[in-house]
């Protein structure tokens, strides 16, 4: 049987692929079914057919999976924020562990028993950072989360004006509604990335484990409208007394990243204080508006705890922390190491890493600004590490970075990744000199398709 676009099939979903689609086989061909859960028998329509695989969308669930549950959010299915609210949480964790295992074996050639996957300590209201997008559509202003595109469609999904979200604190949704109402009443248009016209771009809310709250509004650079943002900040501080900081920054680039380029206005503190704890270790961090930090504070404890366990520090080691961001992992390890050196291209993040090291009373940490894509020349100038920690972006390590690591030849590498496929590719690149000894999936993102992995490699 050769599948064609718009064919209808009946099939039983066997597993979940990374990305959240169900996986089945029809006459030996892999079919990725949007909306299918492991154990479901579904009727699905083929949306794309290739020689080696096909994609389909479930149109009806004929026999539901025993792992199916009722989603708690009324926006589920329309909102792009969650993909798996209708799948029992322990099964989400098991499937994500299998995805990591499969990627390491299929792409990385790794044959090592996986440690049991670890779920998030908080299954709901776990996110410490929410990024909401503005959109101008049908003559009106919208603010919320991006919706879900139908299977097979490409492009930027429309913004959904959400009224509930169970991934963040309820008060964050109250702030969202207040900002949406204010911006609509302002009469100032939302930004359109296609034309470059308009003003309001993103709303970012951070809420730390210590109860501090930062509201960050990102706009186009138009000083004639900045008074509107200052008025918004004053209104929010008045309505939400628990607000620690309000920041306004501008962005000129048209890309839809929720990050400002220049801070224009601020109320309250320059940063908020975050805390991560695990196994008796507690570390605190200063987080600025644009700095990267793990979006699940309790989950970060599980992740950093796994890194600490795999590193096996005795107090005599030099640790090199590549792509260190605001120094989160290195600072969490520093009390058990002789020296920690963090390496990061963002000057703002490095500044906050120094500030956080001071906040924790650490004197054995150094942080360096540099672009890892330059590879051997920059990294090779650093002291030879005993343990190298690497936590690259979703795209994985640059090839020059891999070559630099091979030249540095640390005894241990602890690799952290939010994409099992790029992790497996990077492990393969390092395999001429390193062997994977342990790996563990850590679910930082319940009800979404994302998963973190910690992987221990030792020099052969």
Distance CA 297, CA 300 (A): 5
Domain membership of residue 431 (yes or no) is yes
**Helices marked H in 28-169:** 89-106
Task: Tell me: do 314 and 215 sit in the same domain.
Answer: no
Between β-strands 129-137 and 262-268, what pairing exists: parallel, antiparallel or unpaired? unpaired
Residue 355: per-residue pLDDT: 96
Whole-angstrom Cα distance, residue 442 to residue 96?
9
Sorted by sequence, the CB contacts under 8 Å of residue 383 that are 6+ apart come out as 318, 320, 339, 341
Question: Was 294 annotated as part of a binding site?
Answer: yes
pLDDT digits (tens, 9 = 90+) for 400-451: 889 889 988 999 999 999 999 999 999 999 999 999 999 999 999 999 999 9
Same domain, 243 and 219: yes
Q: Are 51 and 136 part of one and the same domain? A: no
> Which CATH number do you get for residue 178?
2.40.50.1070
The distance of Cα 224 from the centroid of its chain, to the nearest Å, equals 34
pLDDT for position 379: 67
Q: How far apart are the first and last CA of the chain?
A: 47
Q: Which of 5, 16, 13, 1 minimizes the C-alpha distance to 449? A: 16
Distance CA(314)–CA(224), nearest Å, equals 57
CA-to-CA separations, 1 to 4, 12, 58, 143, in angstroms, rounded: 10, 17, 19, 46
Give residue-wise pLDDT tens across range 345-354: 888 899 999 9
Residue 114 has pLDDT above 80, yes or no: yes
323 is in an annotated binding site: yes
pLDDT score of 103 more than 90 = yes
Helix (H) or strand (E) holding 246: strand 243-250
- 392 and 427 both lie in a single domain: yes
Q: What percent of the chain has pLDDT over 70?
A: 98
Residue 364's pLDDT band (boundaries 50, 70, 90)?
A: very high
Is 189 part of any domain? yes
For residue 202, give both structure tokens. 């993103």
Over residues 94-123, mean pLDDT: 95
* For range 102-121, the mean pLDDT: 95
Report if residue 454 sits inside a domain. Answer: yes
70 is in an annotated binding site: no
- 343 among annotated binding-site residues: no
pLDDT attached to residue 1: 59
Catalytic residue among 11, 168, 324, 418: 418
Residue 85, in any domain of the structure:
no
For residues 166 and 221, give the distance between their C-alpha atoms in angstroms, rounded to a whole number.
33
Q: pTM (2 decimals)?
A: 0.93
What DSSP assignment string belongs to 82-121?
-S-TTB-HHHHHHHHHHHHHHHHHHTT----PPPPPB--S
Q: Is residue 414 part of a domain?
A: yes
Q: Structural domain of residue 49, as residue ranges?
A: 8-68
Cα→Cα distances 51→152, 229, 236, Å = 17, 53, 55
Where a domain ends, among 213, 237, 271? 271
Question: Given this model, what pLDDT does residue 52 score?
Answer: 87
- 79 assigned to some structural domain: no
pLDDT band at 370; cut points 50, 70, 90:
confident
The CATH number of whichever domain residue 332 belongs to comes to: 3.40.50.150
pLDDT tens, residue by residue, 253-304: 999 999 999 999 999 999 999 999 999 999 999 999 988 899 999 999 999 9
* 306/455 same-domain check: yes
Instruction: Flag whether pLDDT at 211 surpasses 60.
Output: yes
Same domain? For 455 and 317 the reply is yes
Tens-digit pLDDT profile for residues 174-188: 999 999 999 999 999
Q: How confident is the model at residue 378 (pLDDT cuts 50, 70, 90)?
A: low
CATH number of the CATH domain containing 61:
2.40.50.140
Domain match, 326 and 253 both? no
Q: How many structural domains does the chain have?
A: 3
Residue 289 forms part of a structural domain = no
418 is catalytic: yes
């Amino acid at each position: 049987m050769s599948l064609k676009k718009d064919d209808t099939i009946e099939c039983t979903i066997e597993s979940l692929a990374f990305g959240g689609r169900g996986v089945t086989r029809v006459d030996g061909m892999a079919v990725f079914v949007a909306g299918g859960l492991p154990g479901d028998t579904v009727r699905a329509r083929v949306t794309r057919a290739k020689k080696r695989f096909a994609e389909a969308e479930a149109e009806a669930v004929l026999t539901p999976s025993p792992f199916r549950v009722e989603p708690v959010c009324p926006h589920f299915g329309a909102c792009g924020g969650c993909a798996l609210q209708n799948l029992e949480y322990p099964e989400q964790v098991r499937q994500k562990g299998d995805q990591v295992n499969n990627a390491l074996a299929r792409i990385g050639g790794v044959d090592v028993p996986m440690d049991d996957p670890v779920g998030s300590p908080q299954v709901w209201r776990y996110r410490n950072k929410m990024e909401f997008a503005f959109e101008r559509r049908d003559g009106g202003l919208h603010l919320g989360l991006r919706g879900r595109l139908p299977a097979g469609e490409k492009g930027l999904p429309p913004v959904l004006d959400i009224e509930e979200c169970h991934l963040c604190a309820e008060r964050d949704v109250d702030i969202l509604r207040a900002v949406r109402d204010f911006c609509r009443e302002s009469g100032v248009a939302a930004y359109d990335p296609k034309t470059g016209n308009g003003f309001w771009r993103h709303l970012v809310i951070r809420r730390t484990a210590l109860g501090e709250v930062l509201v960050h509004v990102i706009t186009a650079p138009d000083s004639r409208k900045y008074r509107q943002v200052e008025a918004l900040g004053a209104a929010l501080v008045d309505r939400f007394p628990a607000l620690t900081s309000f920041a306004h920054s501008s962005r000129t680039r048209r890309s839809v990243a929720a990050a400002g380029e220049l801070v224009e206005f601020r109320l309250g503190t320059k940063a908020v204080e975050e805390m991560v704890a695990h196994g008796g270790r507690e570390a605190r961090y200063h987080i600025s508006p644009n700095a990267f930090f793990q979006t699940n504070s309790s989950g970060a404890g599980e992740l950093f705890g796994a890194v600490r366990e795999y590193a096996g520090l005795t107090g005599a080691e030099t640790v090199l922390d590549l792509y260190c961001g605001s120094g989160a992992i290195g600072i969490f390890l520093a009390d058990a190491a002789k020296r920690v050196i963090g390496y990061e291209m963002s000057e703002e993040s490095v500044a906050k890493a120094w500030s956080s090291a001071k906040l924790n009373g650490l004197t054995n940490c150094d942080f360096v600004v540099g672009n890892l894509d330059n590879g051997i020349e920059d990294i090779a100038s650093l002291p030879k590490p005993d343990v190298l920690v690497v936590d690259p972006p979703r795209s994985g390590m640059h090839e020059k970075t891999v070559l630099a690591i091979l030249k540095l030849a640390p005894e241990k590498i602890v690799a952290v990744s939010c994409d099992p496929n790029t992790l497996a590719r990077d492990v393969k690149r390092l395999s001429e000199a390193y062997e994977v000894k342990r790996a563990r999936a850590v679910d930082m993102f319940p009800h979404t398709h994302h998963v973190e992995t910690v992987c221990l490699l030792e020099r052969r």
